[in-house]
């Protein structure tokens, strides 16, 4: 992961590797500020920041073997992003930053929230805090630098960034990227990948027969699929999204994201 949480005077600030390197340089290890994971709050540490090596990309990391499997999307054991490796990270930091800025425009941000909420099962699903965490995880895995990331695909890709509660609260599910056909071709082909839902219980993957679900079991990386959802959400959301309480709340989370401050529930 490329970001972590630093708690200072009760404020949860998201810190990047560079910022942390500045904080700890010249200090004794025991006085380094403690860090925790953006999603699961378990402690994380830096790896490779202070040793220059061409073969190792510095990162923040959970303790080894912790958390298990898919307990946390940022866990080192998570396999959900594997197929995404083929989608290279070719964008410069500046370009990636501009891409994120466009996403953070109020109308785009709201539209993306509504798409993700719809995918989660609609009404009563996906709080703004949960949605905000998904964006923070996207930041932490460096999603914005991927070569292939058209604007319409962003809400779909964000669905990878969390473990979601099922409606009855008994299980969680998450999405992973899966290739549809195993081809020899090494390059990224969005037509040959989709997101598939996997079930979890307490962070451990469970398998079972086809279950009824209020969320899609397969999400295609397709623009027409997204356009279909946008039409549905526009019809459904015109009134409640304009209510003052909601408008204030989404703006508060949006600004929190822009300022790298992790907000707690109101």
Lookup: tokens for 170: 């008994």
> How distant, in Å, are the alpha carbons of 42, 122, 250 from that of 245?
32, 19, 9
Using CA atoms, how far apart are residues 140 and 199, in angstroms rounded to an integer?
A: 23
- Compare residues 15 and 114 and give the one whose CB is closer to Zn ion: 15
CB of 1: closest distance to Zn ion in angstroms? 8
CB of 137: closest distance to Zn ion in angstroms? 9
- Compare residues 14 and 72 and give the one whose CB is closer to Zn ion: 72
Asked if 71 contacts 63 with a C-beta cutoff of 8 angstroms, the reply is no
For residue 226, give the nearest of 174, 255, 190, 187 by alpha carbon: 190
- Compare residues 71 and 109 and give the one whose CB is closer to Zn ion: 71
Counting other chains too, the contacts that 97-105 makes at CB distance below 8 Å and 24 or more residues apart are: 97/144, 99/144, 99/149, 100/139, 100/144, 102/151, 103/135, 103/151, 103/154, 104/254, 104/257, 104/258
CB of 39: closest distance to Zn ion in angstroms? 5
- Compare residues 130 and 151 and give the one whose CB is closer to Zn ion: 130
CB of 136: closest distance to Zn ion in angstroms? 11
Residues of this chain that bind Zn ion (CB under 5 A)? 37, 39-40, 72, 74
Neighbours of 251 (CB within 10 A): 14
Collapsing DSSP states into helix, strand and coil, what is residue 93? helix
- Compare residues 40 and 237 and give the one whose CB is closer to Zn ion: 40
CB of 12: closest distance to Zn ion in angstroms? 14
Using CA atoms, how far apart are residues 154 and 10, in angstroms rounded to an integer?
A: 32
């Amino acid at each position: 992961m490329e970001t972590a949480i630093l708690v200072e005077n009760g404020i949860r600030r998201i810190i990047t590797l560079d910022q942390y390197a500045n904080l700890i340089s010249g200090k004794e290890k025991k006085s380094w500020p403690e860090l925790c994971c953006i999603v699961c709050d378990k402690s994380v540490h830096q790896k490779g920041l202070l040793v220059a090596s061409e073969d190792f990309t510095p990162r923040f990391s959970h303790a080894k073997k912790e958390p298990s499997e898919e307990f946390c999307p940022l866990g080192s054991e998570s396999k959900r992003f594997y197929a995404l490796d083929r989608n290279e990270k070719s964008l410069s930091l500046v370009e990636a930053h501009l891409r994120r800025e466009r996403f953070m425009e109020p109308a785009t941000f709201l539209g993306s929230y509504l798409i993700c909420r719809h995918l989660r099962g609609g009404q009563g699903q996906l709080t703004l805090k949960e949605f905000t965490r998904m964006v923070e995880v996207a930041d932490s895995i460096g999603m914005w630098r991927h070569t292939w990331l058209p604007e319409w695909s962003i809400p779909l890709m964000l669905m990878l960034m969390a473990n979601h509660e099922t409606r009855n609260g008994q299980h969680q599910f998450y999405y992973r990227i899966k290739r549809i056909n195993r081809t020899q071709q090494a390059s990224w082909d969005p037509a040959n990948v989709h997101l598939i839902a996997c079930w979890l219980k307490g962070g451990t993957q469970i398998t079972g027969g086809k279950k009824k679900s209020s969320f899609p079991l397969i999400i295609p990386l397709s623009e027409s699929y997204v356009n279909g959802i946008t039409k549905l959400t526009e019809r459904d959301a015109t009134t409640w999204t304009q209510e003052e309480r909601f408008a204030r709340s989404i703006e508060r989370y949006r600004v929190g994201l822009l300022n790298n401050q992790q907000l707690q529930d109101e």
